[in-house]
Amino acid sequence: MRVLAGLTILAAGLLAGCASDGGALPEPSPLPDLDRQLIDGEVLWRRSGGNGAGDKVSGFRLALDGARVYTANRNGRVSAINIEDGSLAWRADTELRLVSGPVHMDGRLLVGTRDGELVALSAEDGSRQWAVTLSSELLVPPAAGNGTVVARSLDGRIVALELATGERRWTVERQVPTLTLRGGSAPLIDGDAVYAGLDSGKVLALSLSTGEQLWEQRIAAPAGRTELERVVDVDAELLLADGVLYAASVGDRLVSLALSSGRVRWSRDIGSRTGLTFNPGQLFVTDRSSHVLATNRRSGATIWNNEALAYRNLTQPVMYKSYVMVADYEGYLHWMIPEDGTPIGYADVMGEPIRSAPIVVGDRILLLGAEGTVVAVEGIFPDDADD
């Protein structure tokens, strides 16, 4: 297998057709010129989680457990931070080459390593509970649910293990294309089914208990003159909403799938590497050029396309107080009105790139920076203060 490693941002730009004749990538758009700043962000606390991923592609993310948020870094450190004030609850040095996680489930934290180890730690104090060596690097965060952990390794294997012990239940293998972007989407568990987006441009549904295939659906087919143009990885996080599964490929395809059969309900020419979010009537997606789009959830018809933040390497969109929110490569948060995509505010809250999706907990926004910084932010509304 030949993997396009260490050039992920360049590859994404080339796939989007955004390189000039000289090979240069477009300059990121400047910050929007707003008539009024209707929402701003106030940093409540800031805590170093150690050495983050830096400029390397990783599967690091924040994990939540009631009053704590957990983080991991490439030097093997896992930390538990109190959400209320940012104080450190505990810190554990695993001495592992961590590359993904943590994921929290039933009092355990799951992390993956470059050496193919899946490790379970106690969420109470960080002590090791079990470790299993799989076939290759675990760049994609695992999924956990119903007493099961599902991990997807870089060589195309999907493995299910007992959450309590690490005992292997089943393994499914899928061929990985010759050329693929470095990265991937985490498996998604729902009831007795697990769904996985593959580098082949397919979405796979398996029985969680047995690994039996329930269905497989291609959402994007290789096309183009070069290998790079033919990359169709499903790297965007899958989204399950109201019994419908949404998936996006870097190969310019966004689809709505029937959960029971994988049947394509609708398909649109929109490519994404980050992910999706939704409200009752709309689906929001960040495309490969960092345009933020809204589509109709029932038909897929485009409602609006906000290009104001183009090439700012935006995260997956999330909802905050009914607004659409994304973070960018400079550490800014941005908010938009969901009805028409109008930008209504931005805030410099991190000072380093933000690559994983913001996490909303009540009024708070939790963010993980590329260098390992964890920040808690609260959205504030300047007009309210004037009343």
* C-beta separation of 233 from 271 below 8 A: no
Supply the pLDDT for residue 23: 54
Q: Is the pTM of this model over 0.85?
A: yes
User: What local confidence, expressed as pLDDT, does residue 223 receive?
Assistant: 81
- Residues ≥6 apart with Cβ < 8 Å to 251: 201, 220, 221, 222, 223, 230, 231, 232, 233, 271
How far apart, in Å, do the first and last CA atoms of the chain sit?
61
Q: Which pLDDT does position 181 carry in this prediction?
A: 83
Residue for token pair 């800031």 = 46
∠ CA 306-307-308, rounded to 5°: 95
Q: Please give the chain's pLDDT, 387 residues, in tens.
A: 334 433 333 344 444 444 433 457 799 999 999 988 999 999 999 999 778 877 888 999 999 998 999 999 999 999 999 999 999 999 999 999 999 999 999 999 999 999 999 999 999 999 999 999 999 999 999 999 999 999 999 999 999 999 999 999 999 999 888 778 888 899 999 999 999 999 999 999 999 999 999 999 999 988 877 777 789 999 999 999 999 999 999 989 999 999 999 999 999 999 999 999 999 999 999 999 999 999 999 999 999 999 999 999 999 999 999 999 999 999 999 999 999 999 999 999 999 999 999 999 999 999 999 999 999 999 999 876 554
Q: State the Cα angle at 215 between 210 and 216, rounded to 5°.
A: 115
Please, are residues 180 and 231 in contact by the beta-carbon 8 Å criterion? yes
Q: Supply the pLDDT for residue 4.
A: 41
Which two three-digit tokens encode residue 387?
């009343």
Residue 62 in tokens: 């924040």
Q: Which two tokens stand for residue 247?
A: 């998936």
Residue 382 has what pLDDT?
82
Q: What is the DSSP letter of 312?
A: S
What would the DSSP string read from start to end of 166-190?
Answer: --EEEEEE-PPPSEEES--PPPEEE
The pLDDT, as a whole number, for residue 53 is: 79
Distance CA 63, CA 86 (A): 14
Q: How, if at all, do strands 179-181 and 2-4 pair?
A: parallel
The token pair that represents 140 in the structure block:
């994609």
Please give the Cα distance from 320 to 379 (Å, whole number): 8
Q: How far, in Å, CA of 33 to CA of 89, rounded?
A: 41
* 8 Å CB contact between 298 and 285: no
Could you identify the residue written with the tokens 């195309």? 156
